[in-house]
Structure 1
Amino acid sequence: MKKVFVFFLILLFFNACAIKNQNNFSQSIAITINSPFLKMSDFGFLIKENQALNLEVYHLGQAFFNLKIKDKICLNAVCYDKRVFNKKFFKNEYYDDILSDILNAKPLWQGKKIQKTTDGFKQNLKAKNYEIFYEVSKNKIIFFDKVSRIKIILNYQG
């Protein structure tokens, strides 16, 4: 019985000292955003940390754009409710997690009108307040809303 107790004690010790999987992921990207709110084309990093998504964009080696998505969307340390941010940035309310879905290369509106391609998918979505073309491939994401004139292009590097 004493050996079993010592074994479990040692097992507990090594488990406590083990490095936990943080679900962290970082990808270098070239990003272009063209909207009435923001225009830029530069390089940066898309960082996924547990439940947060962080987009850091650099210009001349300096971080000048930091977008963090968790329960709110924070742009350069100013935080907004997701719907308020969407209205300001996209000029449309859409749904709360549309920007997160774009950055995570997930289908919009739970895959509505999705068309599979050889290395990803496309969606063409129309409603009275938007006309969206969205394409995800192995190395590229394109989001374009013809009505609000919003364009987001992400090119994965390396």
Structure 2
Amino acid sequence: MSTALLEAPTCLCVQLERHVHDVTGQAMMSECKINLDTICLVPVFTQQTMAWENVEYQIAALMTHLGTDGAGHYRSALRTRPSLVNATTPAEWLLTDDWTAPVTAWQAPQWMTRRANMFWLIRTDCIHLLQYVRRTMLSDTAENLGTA
């Protein structure tokens, strides 16, 4: 049996089932690490036949649930265009948490790559990442006054 998408959409949302059963039948969470920098190859049928080709996608965002099935909260990460937050700190990800401003990071934390279960993939020929720009209170005030 051959399986593939009928067309290659710009964006795909993929849910990864992390709960598996061990040899004793107990449910456990798989912490298999997902490499966020690897291109994902997704098969797409090319014609009305069974012919297919791989289309390249890149992970642009992910979501991780922390806690148990009945409790906890979600954390997420959004890929940005690589940039410098300041003179020495590179960033490619914005990491979120409840009631706090997003934090920049060069790489998503290892716990996030091992527990993430929702991924948003963008076709590599369509990807346009946002540029992170650090804003200060002073520049916000200047822009509001029309002096920036």
The TM-score, its normalising length taken from structure 1, stands at 0.28
More strand by share: 1
User: Whose relative contact order is higher, 1 or 2, with alpha carbons under 8 Å and at least 6 apart?
Assistant: 2
More helix by share: 1
The TM-score, its normalising length taken from structure 2, stands at 0.29
